[in-house]
Structure 1
Amino acid sequence: MGNNAGLYALTEEHEAIREAVREIAEREIAPFAAEVDAESRYPVEAQKALTAAGFHATHVPEAYGGEGADAIATCIVIEEVARVDVSASLIPAVNKLGSVPVILSASEDLKQRVLPSIAAGDAMISYGLSEREAGSDAAAMRTRARLEGDSWVLNGTKAWITNASVSEWFTVMAVTDPEKGANGISAFVVHRDDPGFAVGPKEKKMGIKGSPTCELYFTDCTIPADRIVGEPGTGFKTALRTLDFTRPTIGAQAVGVAQGALDAAIAYTKDRRQFGSAVSDFQGVQFMLADMDMRIQAARHLVYVAAAAGEQGRPDVTRVSAAAKAFASDTAMQVTTDAVQLFGGAGYTQDFPVERMMRDAKITQIYEGTNQVQRMVIARSLLR
């Protein structure tokens, strides 16, 4: 663990980022959140506002035209956007998820080809790991890539790919040596214009309806040989390392939506009167609010610890990232469900944001590794 285990510092710059993102979120993103959800439409207003302010992909290193923001800063951006609209928070979150494998493992040439367009906001990048029959068991994937001359040829289908229809670049995992199991998987960068590549129709989802989730189809999809990320056979290792850096961003989404729900519940219970008193005067309600706040505070700190652990190269990064993701997302589900309860019948209607927050929170317990998988990861680390 080391003596600095769990240490991080929030700087004045972090607080300034929070203030700036919150202002943009309140002014440019929140007013459209209900409409984005009701119409299942992409939050173009959020993308424009985040890109204009440089908050769409803060994690890209300065060498590639990015902000080079630290991991906590990126989590703060995602958290503050998720506080008003989880769908919109997937813009910075998925830009990070899709590009971290490139940042970690790609050749300098490939980094130069992909990352500047993401930093500039000209392009976004999605992440293609899951398949219908290879979800938690990602190593069971069937998508194949074979080397033909100076090209890789990909065949197969990826499923549940976040922001697929709005991304230009895709980091895709495919089997290059079926004999070797997880060690036979390689990572590739695919462009939406590559021959033989197509994006499927949007899934109809419970929540995050503003973020298009689609399948990816590879039919003799042909890409230049130098679009492989790292050496052949290292793709799955890269995918697992990526999750150490991106699971805290899902924790940040969860903390954000939980905070948004708590803020709404406080305002509503202070305003709503029953039995001659504000609902917030009842101790039963006060204890619910107190529990919601305690869990959010704990989750927020754990998320920042996990974000810092990745940057510090701490040996326990996998465990703490899994813990942050699972704890924060369980917190988000609990808090948003309690918020709906505190709104009573009104909370069950679309007149108030808490029903959307509850639906949006659910996915944080599922994607980037279900919370059952996170618990397996934590236990394995403890028992090793």
Structure 2
Amino acid sequence: MSTTVGMVTTAAAGAYGRAADLDAYLGAPADPAGRMPLVLTLERDHDRVFPAEAVAALDAWGLPRHYVPEAFGGGLRDVFELLLLMRTVAARDLTVAVGHGKTVLGAISAWAAADDSAAHMARIVGAGEAVSWGLTEKDRGSDLAASQTGAVATGGGIRLDGHKWPIGNATRGRAITVLARTEDKPGPRALSLVLVDKTEVDPATLAYRARRPLHGIRGADISGIDFAGTIVSADRRVGAPGQGIEIVLKSLQVTRTLCAALSLGAGDQALAYLAAAGVDAAVIARGAADLLLAEAVAFAGARLFHVAPGEMALTSAFVKVLVPDLVDGVIRDGSPALGVSALLEDGPSAAWEKVARDAKVVSIFDGNSVVNLNVVINEL
């Protein structure tokens, strides 16, 4: 066995072990005494309430530490391990996985920049504080280069004016990594990233846009924030001036791959429900085959970060398109076998109805499927 293969095998074994530890800690979803019981999950979803109890349980286990790379004092060893941990959470509730896991997105640019911002971000995330990734703006869709939020140097600091919407953790997050325009010119080099720690700025310069009434992941904090003369210190820039789009594109290679964890968790829920419902074995077999294919794609993508990082621009786009689509197919094909109850929120298939709604959201995260197919076309 080569040294590289031996290292990968050892790392994988450790990753599976930590995921098993988290799984045991959370307990069975059917157990009302567990830390993420299905009965409470459905109640929170029905009431559109943020699942604070489950998030607190994940904090207590120490999941935020696994969001911080070892280089910055955390426990993140490899992307594969984080994918397994997030899948474990998503296999119980995608709302929790998104609500808690959005911090990974908010922090990823600091890890990619690997500058002074990473040390401050590590303290925030390590303390269990939520972080948001402020990329999109109203009326601009997926066109990040059209961002109009401004970040202007002023008196030794940086002044922000504009908004970000709709983004995860905008309201409940302590910090936001904001993509902002630092030069009045066309092109990607006119944009930079700024870390806004809400504990360091005048709260009167911040205003919030209400949570959106979502169809899936109903309890998640998908809202917005407005900046009106918000001043942050000059050392809160993430990366060099003009590197905003570059760092975001690098970061998306990680986050697109990790989104597969959400879909795999949804697939785990769906397959378990079909088996418990006793539907036709052929339906279960087809679902299991598709989920295994999705798993193979996701696992290969996660491991390639450590053996062929130069391929991740293309690979991450493939993963982001294929895995959610395969899992959506499992749910789409399973619904007819459950009959009309699969469509009823308060019926005997309430858990199925929820995961069917939740899973559809994943395909629009971190660049929707059309955006990622365009990435594939450009790479080819």
Distance 2:374 2:8 in 1: 26
State the partner residue of 1:46: 54
Runs of 4 or more, structure 1, over 4 Å off, are 7-10
CA contact (8 A) 2:12 2:81 kept: no
CA contact (8 A) 1:58 1:92 kept: no
Tell me the number of residue pairs that the alignment of Structure 1 and Structure 2 aligns: 362
Of residues 287, 307, 314, the one that matches 2:309 is 314
- Determine whether 1:119 maps to 2:126: yes
CA contact (8 A) 1:66 1:116 kept: no
Secondary structure class of the residue paired with 2:171? helix
The residue correspondences of 1:113-262 to structure 2 (distance < 5 A) are 113-121=120-128, 123-193=129-199, 194-195=201-202, 196-262=205-271
Secondary structure class of the residue paired with 1:217? strand
Distance 1:115 1:199, change over 3 A: farther
Distance 1:199 1:372 in 2: 29
Deviation at 1:239, TM superposition (A): 0.5
Q: What are the Cα deviations for residues 219-250 of structure 1, in whole angstroms up to 9, with x where unaligned?
A: 11111111111111001100110000111111
State the partner residue of 1:360: 358
Secondary structure class of the residue paired with 2:283? helix
Question: More deviation in 334-343 or 210-219?
Answer: 334-343
CA contact (8 A) 2:99 2:168 kept: no
State the partner residue of 2:375: 377
- Determine whether 1:295 maps to 2:290: yes
Q: What are the Cα deviations for residues 352-383 of structure 1, in whole angstroms up to 9, with x where unaligned?
A: 2111111101111111111011111112112x
CA contact (8 A) 1:58 1:74 kept: yes
CA contact (8 A) 1:55 1:92 kept: no
The residue correspondences of 1:314-333 to structure 2 (distance < 5 A) are 314-333=309-328
Q: What are the Cα deviations for residues 196-223 of structure 1, in whole angstroms up to 9, with x where unaligned?
A: 2233211111111121111110111111
Deviation at 1:106, TM superposition (A): 4.7
CA contact (8 A) 1:33 1:85 kept: yes
For structure 1, the 5+ residue unaligned runs are 270-279
Query: Partner letter of residue 185 of structure 1?
Result: L
| RMSD of Structure 2 on Structure 1 (CA) | 2.0
Q: Scaled by the length of structure 2, what TM-score is found?
A: 0.90
Q: Scaled by the length of structure 1, what TM-score is found?
A: 0.89
Q: What are the Cα deviations for residues 300-344 of structure 1, in whole angstroms up to 9, with x where unaligned?
A: 121122122223352211111111111111122222223332221
Q: What are the Cα deviations for residues 103-123 of structure 1, in whole angstroms up to 9, with x where unaligned?
A: 111523x322221231231x1
Q: What are the Cα deviations for residues 138-174 of structure 1, in whole angstroms up to 9, with x where unaligned?
A: 1111111111121111111111111222210110000
- Determine whether 1:337 maps to 2:336: no
CA contact (8 A) 1:59 1:70 kept: no
State the partner residue of 2:31: none
Secondary structure class of the residue paired with 1:11? helix
Deviation at 1:44, TM superposition (A): 1.1
Distance 1:80 1:186, change over 3 A: same
- Determine whether 1:55 maps to 2:53: no
For structure 2, the 5+ residue unaligned runs are 29-33
Identity of aligned residues (%): 25
- Determine whether 1:28 maps to 2:35: yes
